Every structure is written in structure tokens, then in C-alpha cells.
Amino acid sequence: MKLFGVLGDPVSHSLSPAMHNAAFKALGMDCEYHAFRVSADSLHDAIHGAFALGFGGLNLTIPLKEKALAIVKPTDLAKQIGAVNTVDFKNGIVGHNTDGLGARMALTENDVEIKGKKVLLLGAGGAARAIAFTLAAEGAIVTISNRTPERAFSLAKEVGKAGIISASGMEDLKNLVRNTDIIINSTAIGMFPGVSETLVTSDMMRTDLVVFDIVYNPINTRLLQEAKIAGAKTIDGVMMLVYQGAEAFKIWTGKTPPVDIMEKTVREELA
């Protein structure tokens, strides 16, 4: 049997095990995927330990994506983004980033045009890096807004080579929202257990906005509830999870996973 896993801290909330195990089962593969709580300080040992034990691959979640860059051999894309969310062991320890692709597909599969659109990206962590880089490369005009403005400016500078990316604090969110077409929450705000929290409320939104929350637990976050009150188009975090996971699955196994079964599994687990 081949083992796979997701490393994070915290990680008990992750639905990646259910999603990947459903895909392995559907394809009749003798594989299992588990969640492992790993601190940033133990990441080097955990990745090298999994490699030594013959794991098939790993996913990385908060707060390990940026730290992994110095531990693995990153692909050019992961290096440009500055974060790793998928580790493959076929040719040494290679780090990939599938988050940006997951976010882009979640938007395009919902018929959201990216090129030329103004995107307000809330947060400046590992997922934000991938989303900012990918959407700017697709021709979006991206503003990264973070509670610590220095972090937003630093990230905008690092991934700015991809396209048009600027940065801001969060003290003027109302005006930032007024001048945007797509809001993407890449922070953990609104994630279980803090389900009543949101950075943007319905009175700040318009009907022609697209509001995408990458938080998937709960599916219907407070941000998405506020967007629905305002009549805006909403996209939940499930599809980004599924698409980034499907790409990781392809990298590890060379097989195309059943995306519909992966999505159905995640939504059933959340229900």
C-alpha cells in the first residue's frame, strides 16, 4: 500500500483525506491518505521522514507552505510563487504549487472572466501568494490587502513580476471594495470555529461583485452570506480545494482523478 498525507498545524479540520481516499477507491488504487499535525519547526524532519518511509506524496497547508521552499527542490512555478503545497517523491523531494491553478479553475468554471478585472485579495499568506501570482499572470489587476500592510507590500513586491499587483492595509476596505470586481478571501477569517467573522459586510458590496471565499469549512461562510444579502455572485472554497487536490493527484500518480467524486465527497463531509 502507498501512503500519502497532508501536513499542517492545525490539520484536524482538513477534508483532503476524505477527498483523496474517495478518488483512490474510485480508481481501485491500493493507496491511503492521512492528516498529520506537524509544526513548522518539525517540517524538515517530517518531509524527509515521509520520503524515507516511501510515501507517495504530501500536501502542505497552513502554516507550512512558505517554509517548505527551503526544504524541497521547488519547481520554477513554486519558486516564483514562493510557496509549496504539494510534494512529490518520484525524483527526489520536489515541491509544486497547485493552489493558483485551483483558484483560477474555481473562477473560470463559474464563468468568471479574469483578464482585465480588478481583484481584491484579502490576506498575504501561502495561498495568497499563489492566487496573486496566477491571477496577475492571467491579466487581472490585483490588490493584496492585509492587516499587516508591510506583509502585503512585501508579497506584492515578490510576486509583482507576474503582472499588475499592488498592496494595501485594511483600514480603507470600504473604498477598496468599491473599486473592485472580484473579492477573494484567502485568510482564515470565517473558518471553523470562528464562523461569525467576516472582513467585508453586505453594506460594502454591490450586485455586480464576485465574492470568492477559499475557506471551505463551513461552506457557507459569513462572507458568502453577506455577499448573498447584497445580491453578489458567490463561489465557495470547495472547488479550489478539489481542483488543487486533483492536480496534486495527477502529479503523484500520473492518473486523472474523478473530480466529481472528489467534490461530492467534500460536500457530503461538510453537510
pLDDT tens digits, residue range 256-265? 999 999 999 9
Say if residue 218 is in the same domain as residue 113: yes
Say if residue 105 is in the same domain as residue 170: yes
Rounded to whole angstroms, the Cα distance separating 9 from 254 reads: 28
pLDDT tens digits, residue range 13-49? 899 999 999 999 999 999 999 999 999 999 999 999 9
Pull the grid cell for residue 105.
Answer: 479553475
Say if residue 48 is in the same domain as residue 63: yes
CATH number (domain holding residue 188): 3.40.50.720
Per-residue pLDDT at 211 exceeds 90: yes
Q: CB neighbours (10 Å) of residue 193?
A: 9
Please indicate whether residue 250 is annotated as part of the active site. Answer: no
Pull the grid cell for residue 215.
Answer: 475557506
Pull the grid cell for residue 55.
Answer: 510515501
Say if residue 65 is in the same domain as residue 171: no
Name the residue range of residue 223's domain: 101-236
Amino acid at 53: L
- Which residue is catalytic, options 65, 67, 117, 233? 65
Say if residue 181 is in the same domain as residue 213: yes
Rounded to whole angstroms, the Cα distance separating 137 from 220 reads: 29
Residue 62 pLDDT = 86
Rounded to two decimals, the pTM is 0.92
Give how far Cα 184 sits from Cα of 128, 211, 224, 234, 244, Å.
9, 6, 11, 10, 16
Domain count, the chain: 2
CATH number (domain holding residue 18): 3.40.50.10860
